Chain A
């Protein structure tokens, strides 16, 4: 058995960077902080690539397929026999694929940030937080224990909070950070209870054993499938609740509201956390427990399917109306993650093509990481020059930012699914699996791919063509070289990542498959994409009144999409009106006035009684004589009354 213990270094190096920069960055390293952080992640990336090479091509294969390797395992906290949180490092096709994606994108973002964040007063802190995030995310994907993944899950949430709130003197950033944390926390509650349910019946927290026990029809775990709550088996409840946790992190409808606001963070952070890595954690979580999802009844995967489809469509509609470049990209991320979830949900009804959805989902996750990170980093360059996020402040930037223009175009083509760019292949697989599973969902996915092309090219034409808003001083170059290098590398990824024979490497059961791509099948999606691009060109290539007229013609639909389907308003009603005013305020009032009032009443009554009777002990002989004779008189009267 090959020794994979060095894998532990992959997450630990960024952690070391976090500790060192967090403690000493501000005072001692200052400008060097970026270099230190980058160096740590560089080593992590190198190790990840090496591990991927070893795993996929040298010794990961046992017999026909790829097997799971547990590289490390140590008990962290044990509850009862069988139930313990182990810190483990697990290698299988998806975790190896993910460490490559995470460390690689993190490296790109680190390098980019050295230019983008230069001169910031909290430069060291920024890189410390990036290190913390990279550590947590790598830990998350390598987890072999369901509670271990929960631990890292919370840690990525915290690093996301810290990074969204990086510009802490902006109230909007603070509010966004808080919102992101609380919404995902709410979803994590589902995850936590899901863990409690699943682990209680399976009597283990270890993923491998958990999956074995829960999918074994002969096992004695009758309780979990026969016991039901509201007519649904506990197994399905557990899986559904775990999925809710994933939906929160992956910004699926209706738990997506934090993601657009999260764009308040520095743009490279958005590229890393809120586009390429953390937000796909939910997809990864479902993929991790996939055998159990398949084993349970179809309802849960149907939920996954429709949650994905609805998110993909809604987000694409909203993206068509937004004017903030980063928000358009955020909704686009949400839409693409919807695709990935949708693909995972296709299995049940899919029959033979069943496991295609799994591979397609992972494939799209992989290619998406490249082109979406690239889009965000391009947006970073643009914002860096224009000092605005609004599309109206941009236009005609292709001359000023030629390299960015080229990269952005590549990324747009990739996300729109134009061959031979990477997005084409992965989206093709997703559509294929959807076609086999559910024609209605296929229709949604196809329509959404047209919308995707439309809003991406709307963005592209508005920023780089249209009119010349930005004169530019011409003195500055496009961007520092540290910002340019990641763009070029990621662009190469966005072009070529699609050619990786993914289905031979990453499949649900580890056995290589051949994807049967049918040329004819590609016609519809590509045509949809081209239509989207042409509409975008017609409307946004030159300054005109056309977009306004179209918006006016669409009327209510446009306004509803522009206001993000009023979902934020619903949330704010529930939190402000119901939770704060109907629960919080009364609770606080009752505590002060009723519960404490009772305690004070007790004290007051005691004091009153004491005040009332203390006069009795006056110390005056006359008083005592009076009580004495009054007593005798009273008793005399009583006896006379009783005995006559």
Chain B
């Protein structure tokens, strides 16, 4: 299968949207594009499984190389393994849902959808890249549209938030770039050419001193994307100002770029340094988990609640990676997928509520279960997933991280694991507080009584993401087999 299709389809869709006439044309072409992506990703999954079953044990399948800047030995090099396929599936699902919930976006719907397609092209490219330069290129592609999406279609202090988000993520990219350069100039050795190729660098084995030197750049750089404490502050502001689809994409996919980068680039290429820095990573992750959870408890705005809880939940990704055991890392990957789906679903539900009631403040809402049963059910499912209810994906991911973390002997790691486990109690507190006040209880405002429930497109979005969450939660073995 030609992997470049995954990057091309969103770009072609974006061009097609540009020439569409009328709002309906724009919507349906966008949806068709996203659906093709979804089908492609599932096709890829099926093909991948067939190849593996047939006994193909190469590290990456469907590799494709094309010289890009030959003088610098930069290649357009793509390929997939189980982890990247999982991420691609996630992207396709979130994208489809994001388009569905943006059905009525105004004004400038055309531009909105084009930017969304650019975002997804960037994400696919990132997950496919096996060349560090290509990877960096796609990382940048997926940052810039976000600035516009928030700045133009956002709410509240949107200019401030857009600027903050763009600057912090750009700062992260800059650090990543320094780290990549450091790696690049330390490859090649005596007389050889420098290389950006992931597999080549891995085989060369970077000297430990160099690893030690550049590890912090790459780790913090990618970490900023994944809300690494203390560089997480773009998350609450960014999410709360972003339009629904952008929030979904931002939390669902963009934050995972960092986790994926940490895994694929940082830990994979610099294993010795990762072991040395492991205590620091674990410490920062634990702070993010516990402190994020406590900070969430005090939030009053639904979007802030979900944004802060994302800080806490993404802490599990970093924790899993930092623990460096096989189980913990596979837990981190599961958490990426699970959190991506769950948070997108959460933001979708919050967006639907906001579109109707024009408020996101928990205290002003109430009794929504009576008025909008479908949306409320979606909200509750996302909430239960967030607090780690078995049968939904969050449980599977968290438990895998816990089991993997516990394998790491040492008092500090044990303590970190216990604190991480303890955070699930706090998660229950804030999720149930929000649910109890906003979804249950008596209807606070009589104006809400006439409001309608989800429309077909919103229902479809909720069902798609919810099905993903349940599919992982009820039958986690397929995901585990995929990312092994």
A and B assemble together = yes
Which A residues are within 8 Å of any B CB, using their own CB?
A: 26, 75-80, 83, 85, 147, 150-152, 154-155, 158, 161, 165, 168-171, 174-175, 177-178, 181-182, 185-186, 189, 192-193, 196, 199-200, 580, 583-585, 587-588, 591, 595-596, 598-599, 603
Known: A192-B421, A200-B406. A174 touches B390 (CB 8 A): no
- The yes or no answer to B446 lying at the interface (CB within 8 A) is no
Can you name 5 extra interface pairs (CB under 8 A) apart from A168-B367, A178-B436? A168-B439, A177-B432, A185-B428, A199-B403, A591-B295
Contacts of B232 in A (CB 8 A): 595
- The yes or no answer to B402 lying at the interface (CB within 8 A) is yes
Known: A77-B476, A193-B421. A580 touches B298 (CB 8 A): yes
Known: A158-B389, A182-B425, A587-B291. A77 touches B233 (CB 8 A): no
Q: Which of A75, A178, A189, A595 contacts B432 (CB 8 A)?
A: A178
What are 16 A-B contacts defined by CB distance under 8 Å?
A75-B477, A79-B403, A80-B326, A154-B388, A154-B389, A168-B370, A169-B441, A174-B436, A178-B433, A186-B425, A580-B297, A584-B297, A587-B295, A595-B232, A595-B233, A596-B233
Contacts of A76 in B (CB 8 A): 476-477
- The yes or no answer to B156 lying at the interface (CB within 8 A) is no
Q: Which of B291, B326, B417 contacts A591 (CB 8 A)?
A: B291
Decide: A169 and B400 in contact? CB cutoff 8 A.
no
Which B residues are within 8 Å of any A CB, using their own CB?
A: 164, 167-168, 229-234, 236, 291, 294-295, 297-299, 308, 326-327, 367, 369-370, 373, 384, 387-391, 395-396, 399-400, 402-404, 406-407, 417-418, 421-422, 424-425, 428-429, 432-433, 436, 439-443, 476-477, 480
Q: Which of A79, A170, A199, A588 contacts B295 (CB 8 A)?
A: A588
Contacts of B400 in A (CB 8 A): 77, 79
- Closest chain-A Cβ to B23's Cβ sits at a distance in Å of 31
- Closest chain-A Cβ to B290's Cβ sits at a distance in Å of 9
Q: Which of A175, A584, A603 contacts B436 (CB 8 A)?
A: A175
Decide: A182 and B370 in contact? CB cutoff 8 A.
no
Contacts of B441 in A (CB 8 A): 168-169, 171, 174
Decide: A189 and B369 in contact? CB cutoff 8 A.
no
* CA of A83 to CA of B480, assembled, Å: 14
Contacts of B443 in A (CB 8 A): 169
Decide: B421 and A83 in contact? CB cutoff 8 A.
no
* CA of A453 to CA of B324, assembled, Å: 59
Known: A155-B390, A171-B441, A196-B406. A189 touches B230 (CB 8 A): no
Contacts of A584 in B (CB 8 A): 294-295, 297-298
Contacts of A147 in B (CB 8 A): 399
* CA of A161 to CA of B236, assembled, Å: 29
Decide: B369 and A168 in contact? CB cutoff 8 A.
yes
User: Which residue of chain A has the shortest Cβ distance to B391 in the bound complex?
Assistant: A155
* CA of A33 to CA of B373, assembled, Å: 18
Contacts of B168 in A (CB 8 A): 599
User: Which residue of chain A has the shortest Cβ distance to B163 in the bound complex?
Assistant: A603
Decide: B433 and A169 in contact? CB cutoff 8 A.
no
Decide: B432 and A182 in contact? CB cutoff 8 A.
yes
Contacts of A186 in B (CB 8 A): 425
Known: A171-B442, A200-B406. A599 touches B233 (CB 8 A): yes
Decide: B480 and A78 in contact? CB cutoff 8 A.
yes
Contacts of A595 in B (CB 8 A): 229-230, 232-233
Decide: B396 and A77 in contact? CB cutoff 8 A.
yes
Contacts of B231 in A (CB 8 A): 599
User: Which residue of chain A has the shortest Cβ distance to B409 in the bound complex?
Assistant: A200
- Closest chain-A Cβ to B424's Cβ sits at a distance in Å of 7
Contacts of B399 in A (CB 8 A): 77, 85, 147
Decide: A585 and B407 in contact? CB cutoff 8 A.
no
User: Which residue of chain A has the shortest Cβ distance to B405 in the bound complex?
Assistant: A196
- Which of B390, B402, B436: most chain A CB closer than 10 A? B390
Decide: B389 and A155 in contact? CB cutoff 8 A.
yes
Known: A158-B384, A174-B436. A189 touches B295 (CB 8 A): no
Contacts of A588 in B (CB 8 A): 294-295, 297-299
Decide: A189 and B403 in contact? CB cutoff 8 A.
no
Decide: A189 and B297 in contact? CB cutoff 8 A.
no
- Closest chain-A Cβ to B172's Cβ sits at a distance in Å of 12
User: Which residue of chain A has the shortest Cβ distance to B400 in the bound complex?
Assistant: A79
Contacts of A192 in B (CB 8 A): 402, 421
Decide: B440 and A169 in contact? CB cutoff 8 A.
yes
Decide: A189 and B326 in contact? CB cutoff 8 A.
no
* CA of A596 to CA of B230, assembled, Å: 8
Contacts of A170 in B (CB 8 A): 442
- Closest chain-A Cβ to B197's Cβ sits at a distance in Å of 32
Decide: B425 and A169 in contact? CB cutoff 8 A.
no
Contacts of A583 in B (CB 8 A): 294
- Closest chain-B Cβ to A502's Cβ sits at a distance in Å of 33
Contacts of B367 in A (CB 8 A): 168-169
Decide: A79 and B327 in contact? CB cutoff 8 A.
yes
Known: A584-B294, A587-B291. A185 touches B395 (CB 8 A): no
* CA of A5 to CA of B217, assembled, Å: 56
- Which of B297, B439, B443: most chain A CB closer than 10 A? B297
Known: A189-B424, A200-B406. A165 touches B440 (CB 8 A): yes
* CA of A161 to CA of B380, assembled, Å: 12
Contacts of B387 in A (CB 8 A): 185
Decide: B167 and A603 in contact? CB cutoff 8 A.
yes
* CA of A244 to CA of B404, assembled, Å: 23
Contacts of A171 in B (CB 8 A): 441-442
Contacts of A77 in B (CB 8 A): 396, 399-400, 476-477, 480
User: Which residue of chain B has the shortest Cβ distance to A83 in the bound complex?
Assistant: B403
Q: Which of A83, A155, A189, A599 contacts B425 (CB 8 A)?
A: A189
* CA of A154 to CA of B367, assembled, Å: 25
User: Which residue of chain B has the shortest Cβ distance to A192 in the bound complex?
Assistant: B421
* CA of A585 to CA of B299, assembled, Å: 9
Contacts of B406 in A (CB 8 A): 196, 200
